[in-house]
Structure 1
C-alpha cells in the first residue's frame, strides 16, 4: 500500500443538521432540529440573524443519527419581520433556516380548531357537494354521452394524480436527503396502486359470488369505483389541507387566501368524478352525501395537521398515497369502460372527454398559486 493510504481511513464525515421547522411563541423562538449526518453531532451555539443567542436544547445538545431536539431561545421577535435561525455544531459548521415573515404559531384550542375546520369544509366538503349536483343531469343522458363523461372523469383524475406527484416531488426538497424523499414518493405510489388493485378485485369477486347487495356486476363495479374515487380524492384533499394549514401557520396570508379560493373552485369538478360511475343506477341521497364526505372531510384533517404539527415527510407520504389511489381508479375506469361500454376507449368522443377533463383541471388550477 502506498504512503498516502492511511489518509483514506482518517477522513471525518461532515456533520449534517436539518432545521425542520421553527415556531414563534410569545417571547420565544423554538427551532426543531434533526441530525441527518452520518455521525453523532453536538449543538454548540444558536443564533438569530447571525447574532449568537442563549438557547436551551431539549432533550440533549448531543444528537445521534436521525435524532431530534428542540432549540428554545428567549427572543423578542416581531410579527411580520423576516428571520434567519442559525445552528452551529461543535466543529464550527453553521446551518441556517429562513423565515420570510414571523407569525404566532397557532395553538390547538377550540377557536383555532374551529377556524381550520371551517377552512377545510369550505375548500373540501362544500365544493365536492356542489359537484354532486351533476347527478340528475348525467343520469338522463345517452350511453354515448355517458361514456364521454366517464372519459372526462378519467381526465380529471389523471390531472389530480400528476398534480399530487408534482407536489410530492417538490416537497422532497424540504426534507433531509437521508429520508430519500424521491424514493419514498415512488415506492408509496406503486405500493398503493398494487394494494388497492388487490383489495378491489377481491371485494368485487367476493360480492358477486355471494350475490350480496342485490345488484348486478356492472352496478356493483360502478359503486365500487365511486367509493374508490372518493377515497382517492379524499387522500389528495388531505394534501391540499396540509398546504393550506401550513400556509396559515407560517403567516403566508396572501398565499393561504389564494389556496383557499383556488382549491375551492378546483374541487367543484371532483363531485362529477365521484358520481359518474353510478349515474345510471338508482342511488340514495344518503349514499351521495356519504361519498361527498369521504372525499371532502380529509381536507379538515389536513388543515389541522398542517396548522399545528406540519411534517414534510407526512405530506409527501399522503400525496404519494393519494396519487397511487387515483391512478389505480383511472385504470379501473378504463377497464370497466372496455368491458361494459359499446364504444371503444379510443373513440373520438371518449378521447375528447379525456382531453376536456385535463383542460378543466388545468384552467381551474391556474387560480392556485404557490
Structure 2
C-alpha cells in the first residue's frame, strides 16, 4: 500500500514537471537553433539618458542601453552643438548596461539645456533639462535640510491631524461611520494619486523596455495581495493579544500612508536635486494642509479604542517619518525605477486598507454601505483631498 502511495505521488509530481520541461526545451530551441525563424526584421537600438548632473565645468549624463542589441556611444552634444566627451568605463553597452558620459562645458545655472547622445549608426537620443542646477553633494547640512523638509510635509501635518481624535471619540455611531467612510475617501484619493505619480515618473524617465504601465499594475496588485493577507492575520491576532482591533487597523493605515509618503519624499528629494522646485512658504503650507487629512485617517479607528498617547504618536511617526527617508534617497541617489516601485507599493497598501475600513463599517452594524452617512463621508473625503491638493 505504501509503495502504491509513493508511486501515485511520483506520477503527480511528474505530471506537473513535464509541461515545464517542454517549455524549457521550446525556449532553448527558440533562442538556439530556431533563432533564424524569428528573425523577421531589423532590431532597432535604443538608449535612455536616465540622469543629467551639472558638476563644476562639466555636464555628466548617465546613459543606459534599453534596446535589444548592443550599442556604441559615438558622440555627445549640448543644444545641438557637438562637444568633446569622455565615456566611462567605455563606449560599448550591452543591454541594460550603463555608462557615464562626461562633457566639459561651461554651463549657467537656471538655463535650459538639451543633452544629446549619438550612437554608432547615427541615431540621436536627447534629454531636456528645464533649468540647470548644481548636482547635490552629500553633506550633513543637506541631510538636515531634507530632514526638516520631510518633517514639515510628513510628520507635523500627520500629528496635527491626530488632534481630531478627541472630537471623533465623542460623536455618535452614525457620525463615526461618516468619519470612517471619510477616511476611506481620503485614502482612495491617495492611492489614485500614487498611481498617477508612478505613471508620470514612468512616462518621463523610465525606458519603454521596462513597460512602466504594466510595472505599476503588477507591483500595485502584488502589494495589495501581500498586505491584504498580512493585514487579515494582524486583525485576527488583535482579538487574542494586547493589540486591539482599532489599533491594528490604525497601524495598517499608518503603514499604507507611510509608504505613500516615502514615495512623496522621493519626488521631493529628486526635485531639489534637479533644481526644478522652489520650496517657498506657500508650497510647504500646501503640502501641510494636504497631508493633515492623513492624520484624520489614523485618528478615526483609534477613537474607538482606549486612548494611548504613546501608540498614537508612534502611528504618526510611522505615517510621516518615511517622507524624510524618501527625501534623502531621492536627493542623494534618485532612481526613476525605485520611485515607480515605491509609489506602486504605496498604492497597493492603501487599497488594502480601504477594504479593511469598509469591512469594519459593515461589521460595526452598518451593513448598508450605501447609507447616507457612509456615502457622504466617502464623497467628502475625496473632495477634501482634491481641494487641498490644489494648494500643493
Same fold (TM over 0.5): yes
Further displaced range: 267-276 or 254-263? 254-263
Aligned residue among 148, 165, 169 for 1:118: 148
Partner of 2:241: 212
The offset of 1:257, in angstroms, is: 6.5
8 Å Cα contact 1:248-1:256 kept in structure 2: no
**Would the aligned equivalents of 1:247 and 1:256 in 2 still touch at CA under 8 Å?**
no
**1:80 maps to which residue?**
110
Which residue, 121, 127, 136 being the options, matches 2:166? Answer: 136
CA distance, structure 1, for counterparts of residue 282 and residue 115 of structure 2: 28
- Pairing 1:271–2:259 present: no
Q: Distance between the aligned counterparts of 2:97 and 2:374, measured in 1?
A: 53
Q: Residues 244 and 259 of structure 1 are in contact (CA less than 8 Å); yes or no, is this contact kept in structure 2?
A: no
The number of residues matched between the two structures is 355
**Deviation digits for residues 124-163 of structure 1 (CA, Å, limit 9, x no counterpart):** 0000000000011111111111111101111111111111
Secondary structure (helix, strand or coil) at the match of 1:253 reads: coil
Q: Is the Cα–Cα contact under 8 Å of residues 19 and 31 in structure 1 kept in the other structure?
A: yes
Aligned position for 1:60? 90
Post-superposition shift, 1:341?
A: 3.0
The structure number with the bigger radius of gyration is: 2
The question of 1:324 aligning with 2:324 is answered: no
For the pair 1:187 / 2:211, whether they are aligned, the reply is: no
CA distance in 2, matches of 1:289, 1:259: 25
- For the 8 Å contact 2:59–2:104, the answer to whether it is kept is yes
Q: Aligned match of 1:70 in 89, 100, 124?
A: 100
Counterpart of 1:3 in structure 2 is: none
1:282 corresponds to 2:306: yes
Per-residue CA distance 1:226-250 (angstroms, 9 max, x = gap):
0110011011111211221122111
Q: 1:112 to 1:332 in 2, by over 3 A?
A: same
- Tell me the distance in 2 between the aligned counterparts of 1:158 and 1:128: 17
**What secondary structure is seen at the aligned counterpart in 1 of 2:313?**
helix
Aligned mates of 1:307, 1:70 — CA distance in 2: 19
Residue of structure 2 equivalent to 1:233: 257
In angstroms, what is the RMSD of aligned CA positions?
1.7
Mapped contact 2:235–2:249 kept (Cα < 8 A): no
Instruction: Spell out the pairing of 1:91-110 with structure 2 (5 A cutoff).
Output: 91-110=121-140
CA distance in 1, matches of 2:179, 2:365: 12
Q: 1:41 maps to what in 2?
A: 71
